[in-house]
Amino acid sequence: MWRVVIHNDQLNSLAVVAHLLHTLCAMALPDAVQLAAMVHYRTSAEVAEFPSQGEAEQLVVAFQRHGLDASVRHG
Partner 1 sequence: MMDEHIQYGVTEDYFDAVLASDGIAVRMSDNVAHVLTQLVARLIRFLETGEVHEERRGPLRRARSADKVLRHMFPEAYRDRAEAHSFRERHAPALRDSAAPRRVYARCATGAEYVIDHAEVDDWLVTLGLARFLVLPRDAATHDMTVAWLNHMQVSLISTVNPQLANLVATHAPRTRTIRRS
Sketch the per residue contact string, 13 through 32, with partner 1: x for CB under 8 A, - otherwise: xxxx-xxx-xx-----xx--
Shortest separation between residue 25's beta carbon and partner 1, angstroms = 14
Find out whether 3 and 46 touch, Cβ atoms under 8 Å.
yes
Find out whether 18 and 36 touch, Cβ atoms under 8 Å.
yes
Shortest separation between residue 11's beta carbon and partner 1, angstroms = 6
| E runs forming strands in the chain | 2-7, 44-50, 69-74
Residues that bind partner 1 (CB under 8 A): 7, 9-16, 18-20, 22-23, 29-30, 33-34, 36-37, 40, 57, 60-61, 64-73
